[in-house]
Amino acid sequence: MVLPIVAVVFGLVLLVWSADRFVEGAAALARHFGMPALLIGMVIVGFGTSAPEMVVSAIASWQGNPGIALGNAYGSNITNIALILGLTAVISPIAVHSQVLRKELPILTAVTLFALFIMGDLELTRLDGWMHLLLFAGLMGWTIWQGLKQRDDAFGSEIEDELKVHGMPLGKAVFWLTAGLLLLIASSRILVWGAVDIAHQLGVSDLIIGLTVVAVGTSLPELASSIIAVRKKEHDIALGNVIGSNLFNTLAVVGIAGTIHPLKVEPAIFSRDMMVMTALTVSLFLFGYGFRGTGRINRFEGALLLACYIGYTTYLVMSVFGKNA
């Protein structure tokens, strides 16, 4: 048991570190080629913060571990909203100034309902995977159009400030982009091996490991960046990280997993995990959209999200002990 635990811990640390280097290199490289700051925030950073989930789920699917593939994607979405935004809002209430993010909140809700509909037959076929990726491509096209059209958005201004602080030469940007991606792949393989071995030795499904250890681990980049952003009063970055990551997870991560290896969906994923994810996504939309003005996630709402995460995780843990008793 010791070696798999070491593999998971080492894999997670290397995964988070390499994801951060990958995002910084990609953002700096995009900046060198003249990409608008808003577009960098919506596409490059969104892709980069979801890169751990993408690589982990792709490897897990390829190796025939669907529980980790889907548990990682949907568990990360739950973690992003309930734990990350909940904890961030408790530290400092999140005000939503960006008009682009206000448009993305209902889109995220619609995408989540789409995923719920697709998974209703408890199968993720290759056709389902391609449908996810096709919708994702269309959404990316819309995102790029929005980024080119609304250069003066509040989210773009905050990203512009961050790019000035973390600027780097072209050669260094290319190096970290490449090295970060290679280390992402290596650390993901180590993490998946350790997680699967722990699940087998404990006699629990790899789904539970994917929903808890792997999901939290791959969401650590979003957690760190959101807390740092909100302490700098960059509220739109904190929310943008989560919205972008969840869109990528729901469509790209699951789509890639499905096209690599068709999956049978455990009933619990649909009836428990996807329902929790959907309820949290709808709650985020209601909290953050701002129907009567500026959207805002206050401390009470943040505490409510955090309580939901604690309750959900406790239920997962208790279900494991119940089965092993």
Report pLDDT for 9.
87
Report pLDDT for 113.
96
- Residue 116 near residue 128, CB atoms below 8 Å: no
pLDDT category, 323, cuts 50, 70, 90?
low
SS3 at position 118? helix
Higher pLDDT, 36 or 317: 317
Whether residue 73 has pLDDT greater than 70 = yes
d(CA 221, CA 269): 24
Closest CA to 222 of 230, 233, 210: 230
d(CA 191, CA 56): 8
For the chain, give the mean pLDDT: 84
Q: pLDDT > 70: what percent of the chain?
A: 91
Whether residue 53 has pLDDT greater than 70 = yes
CA 228 remoteness from chain centre: 17
Give tens-digit pLDDT for 284-300: 999 888 776 677 899 99
Per-residue CA distances from 251 to 71, 101, 116, 323 (Å): 14, 18, 12, 32
Whether residue 143 has pLDDT greater than 60 = yes
Q: pLDDT > 90: what percent of the chain?
A: 31
d(CA 250, CA 253): 6
Report pLDDT for 81.
95
CA 137 remoteness from chain centre: 17
d(CA 19, CA 23): 6
Mean pLDDT of 144-161: 70
Give tens-digit pLDDT for 219-250: 877 777 777 777 777 777 778 888 888 999 99
Whether residue 325 has pLDDT greater than 70 = no
Q: Which domains does the chain have, with CATH numbers?
A: 2-324 (1.20.1420.30)
Closest CA to 38 of 53, 27, 51: 27
Higher pLDDT, 310 or 160: 310
Give tens-digit pLDDT for 163-211: 676 667 878 888 888 888 888 888 888 888 888 888 778 777 888 888 8
Residues sharing a CB contact under 8 Å with residue 248, sequence separation 6 or more, in sequence order: 46, 47, 49, 50, 53, 54, 136
Lowest mean pLDDT: which of 28-37, 258-267, 270-279? 28-37
d(CA 31, CA 276): 38
In this prediction the pTM is: 0.85
